[in-house]
Amino acid sequence: IPLDPDFRGATAHRPPFLLPSGRAGGEQLPPPPHWVLFRSAVQGKQEENDVVEKLNLFLDLLQSYKDLCERHEKGVLHKHQRALHKYSLMKKQMMSATVQNKEPESVEQLESRIVEQENAILTMEQRNYFSLYCLHQETQLVHIYLPLTSHILGAFVNSQIQGHMEMSKVWNELKPKLSCLFAGSSDVLMLPLSAQEDNFLPS
Q: What is the pLDDT of residues 75-132, one digit of tens each?
A: 888 888 888 888 888 888 888 877 777 777 777 888 888 888 888 889 889 889 999 9
- pLDDT on residue 92: 84
Q: Is the pTM of this model over 0.75?
A: no
Identify the CA nearest to 74 among candidates 85, 82, 64, 62: 82
Q: How many CB atoms lie within 10 A of CB 69?
A: 14
Reduced to 3 DSSP states, what percent helix, strand and coil does the chain have, rounded to the nearest 5?
80, 0, 20
- Domains along the chain? 47-177 (1.20.1270.60)
Task: Give the DSSP H or E segment for 5.
Answer: helix 5-12
Beta bridge partners of 18: 24
Q: Place 177 in a pLDDT band, splitting at 50, 70 and 90.
A: confident
Give the tens place of pLDDT for each residue, 24-61: 444 444 445 566 677 777 777 777 777 888 888 889 99
Distance, first Cα to last Cα, the chain: 46
What's the sign of the alpha-carbon dihedral 150, 155, 158, 159?
negative
Q: What confidence score (pLDDT) does residue 33 get?
A: 55
Which of 114 and 15 is assigned the larger pLDDT?
114
Residue 37 CA to residue 121 CA, distance in Å, equals 66
Sorting pLDDT into bands at 50, 70 and 90, what band is 2?
very low
Interior CA angle at 35 toward 29 and 37, to 5°?
A: 100
Does the pLDDT of residue 136 top 90, yes or no?
yes
Find out whether 48 and 85 touch, Cβ atoms under 8 Å.
no
Helix (H, G, I), strand (E, B) or coil at 24: strand
